[in-house]
Amino acid sequence: MAQELLQTLQHELAAGATVAVATLVRRRGSVPREVGAKMLVHRDGRIGGTVGGGCGEAEVWRAALSVIDTGRPRIVQVSLTEEIALESQGVCGGIFDVFIQPWHAVPRPDQPSMFELVNAILAALEEEQAVALATVIAAGSAWRGTPGRQLLYYENGKTFGSLALPGVAADREGQVTQAARATLASNDATIVRISGADPSTWAEIFIEPFVPPPVLLIAGAGHIAVPLAALGSLMKFSVSVTDDRASFANRERFPSAKQLLVGDIESILRAYPITPRTHVVLVTRAHSYDVQGLRAIIDTPAAFIGMIGSQRRVWAVLKLLHDEGVASEKLLRVRAPIGLDIGAQTPEEIALSIMSEIVLLHHGGTGRPLSDALRARYQARLQRLEEQNDADEENDYLP
């Protein structure tokens, strides 16, 4: 669920309203939206988000209004496989299942309220932590009354809430926990089916990730940091900037930064909650600050560690840390000098080269011009056209 939808849901629950949350939990064939897509339906018929649009979404909307009235969750299956005709609206050719659940602020036995749950998700995202929400979407026999029960998993192993499945075996609970960890690692929603001691007792549990935006942590607030922070924000990174000089790390110079952290670079970086979504860029004013910064972060799970500097400066930093006992394989994590070779000279161009390298590594790109792969093919085709034109011209002169 997009953070904006979560905030809307939080606002409605705080006002005492009931909102139906429709989540696409399973898809087969060609459908317009991905698993995990959500739509909020309010009691007055207003909607937010989408699970696909068209007549299928209208069917979900009607079911959601019924869920608000009854207070009971349900699954709606939408088929887009009707024959193609002018009057057809659903011709994608697929089928998708939507779990519709009423969300309200009413206390729940043995579980936190839904208002507390949405607050917990938003708080985790604000702290740049990913969480996975497990929701029972279907169940049978002894667990028949459990759909709608929810449990929140944190990256550090902490949980909030309870699925409260009576008599569930420890290994089955472990199966759900393992799936939640895999969801947080892959960022892909999944469905886990578990059974009780009696095979007729079963439950399907939908596990979906809520992941904050990637983080760009800039150490050093000098002339390169300014355009770099602006580019990071433009590309939807959560940007934080640290420097020991308040005259540099201030809101006037970094209006889009989420955090401005003024103080000793090593202390700040050690205290910063670096996760596998954190991209650390060292653009400090001296190699001594680079040493302090790398010393603090070299053992963290950061997705990216990059450092600006000449070859001489980079080697000086690496050697000093190696002399302190930092292993060479750890030091080789550092991308230095940072950035792709685009011939950058100005601070803005250097910032672009840095963000280009981060995006390249994030998406697994090559850094090659896209035209390179097709240039030879275009050349061959253009040559054939020229040869054909020459042949046509010769034919024009034949008697």
- Which of helix, strand or coil describes residue 381? helix
Q: 3 in a domain, yes or no?
A: yes
Q: Based on the number of CB atoms within 10 Å of its own CB, is 138 exposed (0-12), middle (13-18) or buried (19 or more)?
A: buried
Q: Are residues 250 and 311 in the same domain?
A: yes
Question: Is residue 82 located within the same domain as residue 172?
Answer: no
Question: 106, 136, 152: which is the final residue of a domain?
Answer: 106
**pLDDT of the chain, 399 residues: tens digit per residue:** 578 899 999 999 999 999 999 999 999 988 888 999 999 999 999 999 999 877 688 999 999 999 999 999 999 999 887 544 444 444 556 899 999 999 999 988 888 999 999 999 999 998 889 999 999 999 999 999 999 999 999 988 899 998 888 888 777 888 999 999 999 988 899 999 999 888 889 999 999 999 999 999 999 999 999 999 999 999 999 999 999 999 999 999 999 999 999 999 999 999 999 998 999 999 999 999 999 999 999 999 999 999 999 999 999 999 999 999 999 999 999 999 999 999 999 999 999 999 999 999 988 888 888 888 788 888 888 888 888 876 666 666 555
One domain for residues 240 and 348: yes
Instruction: Give yes or no for a contact between 17 and 41, defined as CB atoms under 8 angstroms apart.
Output: no
* 3-class DSSP assignment, residue 215: strand
Residues 220 and 349 in one domain: yes
Residues 49 and 184 in one domain: no
The CATH number for 306's domain is: 3.40.50.720
Predicted local distance difference test score (pLDDT) of residue 173: 81
Q: Residue 62: enclosing H or E segment and its boundaries?
A: helix 54-70
253 lies in a domain?
yes
Which of 160, 194, 212 is a domain's end point?
A: 212
Q: Where in the sequence is the domain holding 243, given as residue range(s)? A: 215-363
pLDDT of 90 reads 46
- Give the separation between CA 44 and CA 52, rounded to whole angstroms: 21
Tell me the backbone φ, ψ of residue 261, rounded to 5 degrees: -110, 110
Determine the Cα–Cα distance for residues 195 and 373; give it in Å rounded to an integer. 51
Same domain, 241 and 179: no
Instruction: Go through 198-233 and write b for each residue having 16 or more CB atoms within 10 A of its CB, e for each that does not.
Output: eeebbbbbbbbbbbbbbbbbbbbbbbbbbbbbbbbb
Domains of the chain: total: 3
Please report whether residue 207 resides in a domain.
yes
Q: Are residues 219 and 293 in the same domain?
A: yes
If asked whether residues 126 and 92 sit together in one domain, one would say no
Structural tokens at position 387? 């040869």
**What is d(CA 361, CA 171) in angstroms, rounded to the nearest whole number?**
37
Q: What is the pLDDT of residues 263-282, one digit of tens each?
A: 999 999 999 999 989 999 99
- DSSP assigned state of 143: G
Could you tell me if 280 and 303 lie in one domain? yes
Question: Could you tell me if residue 380 is inside a domain?
Answer: no
Amino acid at 204: E
Shortest CA distance to 165 belongs to which of 187, 129, 190, 140? 140
Q: What is the pLDDT of residue 369?
A: 87
Same domain, 144 and 99: no
- Region of 346 on the Ramachandran plot (φ > 0 left; ψ -120 to 50 alpha; else beta): beta
159-162 and 74-79 strand pairing: unpaired
Nearest to 131 by CA among 257, 33, 6: 6
Check residue 229 and give its pLDDT. Answer: 98
Which pLDDT does position 101 carry in this prediction? 97
Alpha helices in 109-224 (DSSP H): 114-126, 170-186
Q: How far is C-alpha 271 from the chain's CA centre? A: 23
- Tell me what pLDDT residue 386 has: 83
- Residue 221 domain flag: yes
